[in-house]
Amino acid sequence: MIDLVISVLRAAIRAGSPLLVGTLGEIYTERSGVLNLGVEGVMLMGAVTAFAVTQTTGSIAVGILAAIIVGGLMGLLHGFMSVTLKVNQYVAGLSLVMVGSGISSLIGLGYIGIRGKKLRPVFLGFDILVYLFIALAMVLWFILYRTRIGIEIRSVGENPAAADAMGINVNKTRYLCTVLGGALIGLAGAYLSTAYLSSWTDNMTSGRGWIILALTIFASWNPRGAVLGAWIFGGVEALQYRLQPLGISPSFLGMLPFIATIIILVVSGRFSKGSRGVPEALGKPYRRGER
C-alpha cells in the first residue's frame, strides 16, 4: 500500500512538473493584464522544437533552450496582437493554438516514432528540472510579492492608468511578462518531449494547455499556489494509469483530468468570491486617456 502511495506521488510530481512551469508562465502573463489562451499551441511548439533540436544537435540542453526561445517568440507575437494592436485577446490566443498545432505537426512529421534522448534522474528519481521548477516557483513568488518589479507588474495588471501615472511603462511591462510567460510555457512543452516522455506525437499536449489555464485560476494567480495545483493534476493523470488495470474503461479514465478541471474551476470560483485575485485589467488593452 505504502509502495502504491509513493509510486502515485512520484508519478504525480513528474506529471505535474510541465503543468507547474506552464502555470507559472501564464500567471506572469495574466498578472500583467494580458490573457494568453494560446498555451496549448505554445506548448506544442515547445515540445516539437525541443525534440527536433535535441535530435539534430544531440544535446537536450540546446533543445530545451531552443524551446524556450520559440515559446518566447510566440509570446512576443501574442504581445504584439494584444498590447500593440489591442485586438480581441481571446481570439488572438485561439489563433496561437491553431498555428501552434499546425506548425508543430509539420515540424514533427519526420520525428514520429523516433525514440529520443531523455533527461536522467539526479536525485530521488527525479530529473533536475523537477527541482528547478519548484525553485522557480519560489523565486517568481518572491519577485511578484517582495520586489519593486513585482509591484510594477501587479499594478499594471490591476490598474494600468494608475501605473502609467506613476511612471511605469505599461506596454513594456506587459510585453516582458507575455514573452517570459511564453518562454516558460515553451519550457513546459520541452519537458513533455524530453523529460516526461522521450518522443514526439501529434498533439501530444492533449489538453494540458487548457488545464494550465484552469490551474492559473485555481492558484489565484499566485506562483506558490501553482505548485499544489500542478501536483494535484499530476496525481489525476498518474491515477489514470494506475486504475486502468482494474478494468475501468480507458475512455472513461481519460475524461478524469477534464472533469477535474471543471470541478476545480467551480470550486475556486465558489470559495473565494471577491478576493480570488483575478487581475482587474485582465484581457483589457490599455489606451492612455481612456478608462
Partner 1 sequence: MRIKVEPRADPTWKLTLAVTVFSALIALPIIAVIFWGFQVNPIEAYSVIFEGAFGDWYGFSETLTKAIPLMLCAIGLSVAFQTGFYNIGAEGQLLMGAIFSTYVALQWGELPSIIIIPLMLVAGFIGGGLWGLIPTYLRVRFETNEVITTLMMNYIASKTLEFLVYGPWKGADEWGFPYTSKFNVNTWIPTWGFTRIHTPTLVFAVLSGIALFFVLTRTKIGFETRIVGKNPEAARYLGISYQRIFMIVMLISGGLAGIAGFGEVAGIQHRLRPGISPGYGFTAIIVAWLGRLHPISTMLVAVLFGGLLVGGEMLQIRLGLPAATIQLFNGVFLLTILSGEYLLRNKIIIEREARQ
3-state secondary structure of 88: coil
Q: Which residue number, 149 or 255, has a Cβ lying nearer to partner 1?
A: 255
Indicate the residue among 209 and 235 with the shorter CB distance to partner 1.
Answer: 209
- Residue pair 40/208 in contact by the 8 Å Cβ criterion: yes
16: Cβ contacts below 8 Å, ≥ 6 apart? 230, 231, 232, 233, 234, 235, 237
Q: b vs e for 69-86, b when ≥16 Cβ sit within 10 Å of the residue's Cβ?
A: bbbbbbbebbbebbbeee
The CB-of-270 to partner 1 minimum distance in angstroms stands at 6
Task: Give the shortest CB-87-to-partner 1 separation in angstroms.
Answer: 4
Tally: H helices and E strands in the chain: 11, 2
Please name which of 201, 202, 265 lies closest in space to residue 233, comparing C-alpha atoms.
265
State in angstroms the smallest separation of the CB of 6 from partner 1: 29
What are the backbone angles phi and psi of residue 122, rounded to the nearest 5°?
Answer: -115, -30
Q: Is the Cβ of residue 215 or residue 238 nearer to partner 1 in the bound state?
A: 215
Q: How far apart are alpha carbons 129 and 131 in whole angstroms?
A: 5
Grid cell 515547445 in the structure block, residue: 46
| 9 vs 99, beta carbon nearer partner 1 | 99
The identity of residue 94, as a single letter, is L
CB of residue 202 vs partner 1: minimum separation in angstroms?
A: 6
Return the number of other C-beta atoms located less than 10 Å from residue 45's C-beta.
28
Q: Minimal distance in Å, beta carbon 94 to partner 1?
A: 6
How far apart are CB 35 and partner 1 at their closest, in Å? 9
Distance (Å, rounded) from C-alpha 226 to C-alpha 274? 20
Please report, as ranges, the residues that interact with partner 1 according to CB under 8 A: 37, 41, 81, 85-88, 90-92, 94-109, 202-203, 207, 210, 213-214, 217, 249, 251-252, 254-255, 258-259, 261-262, 265-266, 269-270
35 secondary structure, DSSP code? -
* Per-residue DSSP letter, 220: T
Query: Could you give the 3-state DSSP secondary structure of residue 284?
Result: coil
**Nearer to partner 1 among residue 126 and residue 258 (C-beta):** 258
Distance, C-alpha 240 to centroid of its chain: 21
Q: Which is nearer to partner 1, 39 or 119 (CB)?
A: 39
CB of 277: closest distance to partner 1 in angstroms? Answer: 14
Of residues 133 and 200, the one with the C-beta less far from partner 1: 200
Beta carbon of residue 126, minimum distance to partner 1 (angstroms, whole number): 28
222 or 240: CB nearest partner 1? 240
